[in-house]
Chains A and B, each alone.
Chain A
C-alpha cells in the first residue's frame, strides 16, 4: 500500500488556509433502528435529506442500449456534518431505509472510513442485510446496539451470537439520543478501521512474517 500524503488535491487556485479534507462514515441498520436520530444527535447542522435519482442502469444491468426503457427511482439519504480540528469535515450518511435500495450503498460506501450498523434488538433481522453487505465487501464496521425503552435487555454476546458476527468484530451499546454515546461509537469505529489497516499492512508487508513459525 502506498502512503501518499492525505492532502486532497484542490482544483483551481490554492487558498491560504489548508484545504479541508472530506471524510465519511456510513450509518446503517434497519428501518427505525435510529439512524436519523444518531446522525442528528452529533451533527452540527440539522440533518439534511438529499434525493438521488437512480435509473435501472444503476442496478448493475449492463445493457443500457435501450435508453427509453429505463425506469427512474428516487432514493432519500439523510446525512449530517461534523467539522473536526485540522480542517477535516466528517459526513455521516444514513443508508436509505428500504432494503431494496442496497445498491445505492455502493456509491455511499466508496472511500468511507467504515460503517456503524445500528441494531434494534426487537427487530434484529432488520440489520442482517447491512451486516452481510459490509462483511462481503470487507468494509470495517461495528455493531451498535441502540437501546430502546421497553425493549428487553440483551447481553452483547447474545446479540453477537444472534447476528453471527466474528468474535473480533466490535459490538457496543449505544444510545442514539445521547451525544456522548454517539461520539464514543464514532471513536470506536475509527479505532477499529485503523486496526484493520494496521493488520492488513502486517499481513502484506513484513517478509519475516512469512517465515516465522509459532
Chain B
C-alpha cells in the first residue's frame, strides 16, 4: 500500500528546509502542494491516543478534510513543517492525501467547468 505513494507525480517527501530551494528543481521533486487535501484514516483514528501531540492534532483536525495550508494555519506550524509531518503520517497510514491532478498546470477544462458551475450556484 505504501508503494502507491511513490508514483511518478508524487515525488519524495523531503525535509522543509531542503524544499525551500525547490523552485529551481524539476517539478517531480516537489513536496506536497499547499492545496493537497488531507484526511484521517480509520487507522489514524484508532491510533490517536498513542500519537505525539503534533500528529494527534493533525489526526483530529483532519477528521474533516483539510489542506496543507489549513493544517499549517490551524495548528500554527510553518508550511514546511506541516508538509513533513503529513508526509510521515502518510507513510504510517494515519492520513491519506489527495493531490491536484495537474499540480503544475491549470486544471483541465472539465474541472474548470465544474468550478464554474459550482460558483454559479453558490
Binding site for B on A (CB under 8 A): 3-13, 15, 19-24, 42, 45, 48-55, 57-58, 60, 62, 64, 74, 77, 79, 81-82, 84-86, 88-91, 93, 103, 106-108, 110-114, 140, 183, 186-187, 190-191, 193-194, 197-198
Contact status of A55 and B111, CB under 8 A, knowing A9-B9, A11-B4, A50-B69: no
Contacts of A10 in B (CB 8 A): 96-98
The complex places the Cα of A107 from the Cα of B20 at a distance, in Å, of 10
The complex places the Cα of A89 from the Cα of B96 at a distance, in Å, of 16
Binding site for A on B (CB under 8 A): 1, 4-5, 7, 9-10, 16-17, 20-21, 23-24, 33-37, 39, 41, 65, 67, 69-70, 72-74, 78-80, 90, 93, 95-122
Query: Which residue on A lies nearest to B117, using beta carbons?
Result: A85
Tally of contacts, chain A with chain B, CB under 8 A = 197
Contact assessment for B5 and A11 in the assembled complex, using a CB-CB cutoff below 8 Å: yes
* A interface secondary structure, majority: mixed
Contact assessment for B114 and A79 in the assembled complex, using a CB-CB cutoff below 8 Å: no
Contacts of B122 in A (CB 8 A): 42, 82, 84, 183
The complex places the Cα of A190 from the Cα of B23 at a distance, in Å, of 26
Contact assessment for B1 and A13 in the assembled complex, using a CB-CB cutoff below 8 Å: yes
The complex places the Cα of A90 from the Cα of B65 at a distance, in Å, of 13
* Nearest CB on A from B84, distance (A): 12
Contact status of A52 and B111, CB under 8 A, knowing A8-B99, A13-B41, A112-B106: no
Contact assessment for A55 and B69 in the assembled complex, using a CB-CB cutoff below 8 Å: no
Contact assessment for B116 and A191 in the assembled complex, using a CB-CB cutoff below 8 Å: yes
Contact assessment for A48 and B116 in the assembled complex, using a CB-CB cutoff below 8 Å: no
